[in-house]
């Protein structure tokens, strides 16, 4: 059975770097396993992202995330990704698309068990926020609010027994 291992957290916490490093480590330590790193998929979104994102942007990112993960899980033993669908839900909620966020969260209640492990990288302990032309590196309040939304969604998933608490680790 394939494993989906994810990093989660607001932008600029080193999730992509961690995903690449973990995938490389798995490949090095388990050469007989097929390993794939799924990272930066949002950069391929044909719609605006971040604070300029539209409802179409968030829907594209959410459905693309699920599609990519499911496709890769059929082909690889281990898939390491730099975001979860909960990340997408938090950004959707931050942007004020509450109805869409609630619908996405209902999907997440069933889909969250696809993740074998989730490492949540908080902004206070993981300073990787650089201006790279994609993310808003200077709006700390934006990052903090998104992080708070993510923590709230994970807490609700655990409290409603949709996700075992041992799946997520805060790093």
pLDDT digits (tens, 9 = 90+) for 54-81: 999 999 999 999 999 999 999 999 999 9
Range in 13-17, 136-140, 157-161 the model is least confident about: 136-140
Range of the domain at 34: 3-170
CA end-to-end distance (rounded Å), the chain: 26
Per-residue pLDDT tens over the stretch 34-46: 999 999 999 899 9
**Count of domains forming the chain:** 1
CATH code at position 42 = 3.40.50.300
Confidence bin at 12 (pLDDT 50/70/90): confident
Write out pLDDT tens, residues 123-145: 987 676 655 556 666 788 999 99
């Amino acid at each position: 059975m394939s494993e989906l291992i994810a990093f989660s957290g607001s932008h600029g916490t080193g999730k992509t770097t961690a995903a690449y490093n973990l995938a490389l480590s798995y490949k090095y330590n388990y050469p007989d396993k097929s390993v794939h790193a799924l990272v930066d998929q949002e950069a391929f979104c044909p719609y605006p992202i971040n604070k300029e994102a539209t409802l179409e942007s968030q829907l594209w990112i959410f459905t693309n995330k699920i599609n990519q993960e499911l496709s890769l899980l059929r082909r690889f033993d281990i898939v390491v990704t730099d975001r979860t669908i909960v990340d997408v839900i938090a950004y959707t909620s931050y942007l004020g698309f509450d109805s869409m966020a609630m619908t996405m969260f209902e999907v997440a209640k069933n889909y969250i068990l696809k993740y074998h492990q989730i490492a949540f990288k908080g902004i206070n302990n993981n300073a990787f926020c650089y201006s790279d032309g994609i993310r808003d590196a200077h709006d700390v309040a934006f990052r903090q609010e998104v992080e708070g939304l993510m923590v709230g969604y994970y807490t609700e998933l655990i409290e409603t027994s949709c996700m075992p608490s041992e799946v997520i680790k805060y790093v």
